[in-house]
């Protein structure tokens, strides 16, 4: 049976890239009735320094973001990673399976560690092995993510394959990255060659899930574009990264396609298209941020939801760890 797993880091602000690349698609998958497990990956967040009070708040706010985006904690399993110790247990085993050469190829480590990799934490380096554990401790088969996480899911497959090969078993499945839709790589509003990211120092580069209507409209009005009118088909977006990005965002927010959007707006100037995009973005995002703010007034309820989710997650993860230990030869009773 197919089983979906995905995770989001509770660090910094949730933004439109997280929503379109992840949350919105999770809600869509839930509607299709797939068994889904979603995790606030707090252990991943602390691979770089997090202020403890901010981390606590970000974890709850992220949970609120999931629920406000339509993920129902009764239908899906929603929890934070540190409450399910099996993730860290399997991660250690995978630290012993993954090869240094594989880790050295990870582009996210290179981006995050920057020039002075000697100063990066050991956890940041081992990050992808923990991510493999997140997925495989549930024997998940499908991993919906944005384009930037593809390499990590491929590494997860390499780890599963090597574990299975080394121990002569077929215990771990080969999970597949699911990267589909018009907005698997939402770009910065200031620079069409950089992805929208919580770590971009310019707040104008991204739309945060908690931005109010005026802020959203102002950011879209100021978004970088080129001077030409919108083309009438997708081919006309080649070499126009900023135009492509805004059209992708429109298509994803309206559950439409790039072709359909260009069919409607082809030939129009950005001065006409941008107000339509603002209207659509505010229309879709405002109810989510309102609901998030509402949920955040009752953090005790959020904590209870995460606690129940963690208990359900452990029911799946505990037997997997027991069997893994047996396969590896770790003595237990």
Q: Which residues are catalytic?
A: 112, 195, 198
Cβ distance to ligand TYM smaller for residue 18 or 76: 18
Q: Is 8 near ligand TYM (CB under 6 A)? A: yes
Task: Extract the annotated binding site for L-tryptophan.
Answer: 134
CB atoms within 10 A of CB 51: 9
| Separation between Cα atoms, residue 249 and residue 289, nearest integer Å | 18
Cβ-contact 126, 95 below 8 angstroms: yes
Encoded tokens for 249: 């965002």
According to the binding rule CB under 6 A, does residue 252 interact with ligand TYM? Answer: no
Comparing CB distances to ligand TYM, the nearer of 38 and 270 is 38
The site string for ligand TYM over 35-54 (x = CB under 6 A, - otherwise) reads ------x--x----------
131 binds ligand TYM (CB under 6 A): yes
Exposure pattern of 210-234 as b/e (b: 16+ CB <10 Å)? bbeeeebbebbeebbbeeebbbeee
Interaction between residue 67 and ligand TYM (CB under 6 A) = no
Q: Residue 21 or 192: which CB sits closer to ligand TYM?
A: 21
Q: What residues between 260 and 299 interact with ligand TYM by CB under 6 A?
A: none
Q: Report the residue number whose CB is nearest to ligand TYM.
A: 21
Among 112, 8, 11, 81, CA closest to 52: 11
CB 240, CB 266: distance < 8 Å: no
The strand ranges marked E within the chain are 3-8, 35-40, 77-80, 142-144, 176-178
Strand partners, 79: 39
Instruction: Considering only residues 138 through 197, tell me which ones interact with ligand TYM, judged by CB under 6 A.
Output: 143, 145-146, 148-149, 152, 184-186, 195-196
Q: If binding is defined by CB under 6 A, does position 9 make contact with ligand TYM?
A: yes
- Give contact residues for ligand TYM (rule: CB under 6 A): 5-9, 17-18, 21-22, 41, 44, 131, 134-135, 143, 145-146, 148-149, 152, 184-186, 195-196
């Amino acid at each position: 049976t197919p089983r979906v797993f995905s995770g989001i880091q509770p660090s910094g602000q949730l933004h439109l890239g997280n929503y379109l690349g992840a949350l919105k698609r999770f809600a869509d998958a839930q509607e299709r009735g797939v068994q889904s497990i979603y995790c606030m990956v707090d252990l991943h967040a602390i691979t770089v320094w997090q202020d403890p009070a901010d981390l606590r708040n970000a974890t709850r706010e992220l949970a609120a973001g999931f629920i406000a985006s339509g993920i129902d904690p009764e239908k899906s399993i929603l929890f934070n990673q540190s409450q399910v110790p099996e993730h860290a247990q399997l991660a250690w085993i995978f630290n012993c399976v993954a090869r240094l050469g594989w880790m050295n190829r990870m582009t996210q480590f290179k981006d995050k560690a920057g020039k002075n990799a000697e100063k990066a934490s050991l956890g940041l380096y081992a990050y992808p092995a923990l991510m493999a554990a997140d997925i495989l401790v549930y024997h998940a088969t499908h991993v919906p993510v944005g384009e930037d996480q593809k390499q990590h899911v491929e590494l997860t497959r390499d780890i599963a394959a090597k574990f299975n090969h080394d121990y002569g078993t077929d215990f771990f499945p080969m999970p597949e990255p699911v990267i589909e839709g018009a907005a698997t790589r939402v770009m910065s509003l200031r620079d069409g060659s950089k992805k929208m990211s919580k770590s971009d120092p310019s707040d104008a580069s991204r739309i945060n899930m908690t931005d109010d209507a005026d802020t959203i409209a102002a950011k879209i009005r100021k978004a970088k574009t080129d001077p030409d009118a919108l083309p009438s088909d997708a081919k006309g977006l080649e070499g126009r990264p900023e135009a492509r990005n805004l059209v992708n965002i429109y298509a994803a927010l309206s559950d439409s396609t790039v072709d359909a959007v260009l069919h409607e707006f082809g030939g129009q100037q950005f001065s006409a298209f941008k107000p339509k995009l603002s209207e659509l973005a505010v229309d879709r995002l405002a109810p989510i941020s309102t609901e998030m703010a509402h949920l955040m007034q009752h953090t005790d309820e959020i904590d209870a939801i995460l606690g129940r989710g963690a208990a359900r997650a452990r029911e799946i993860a505990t037997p997997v760890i027991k069997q893994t230990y047996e396969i590896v030869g770790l003595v237990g009773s």
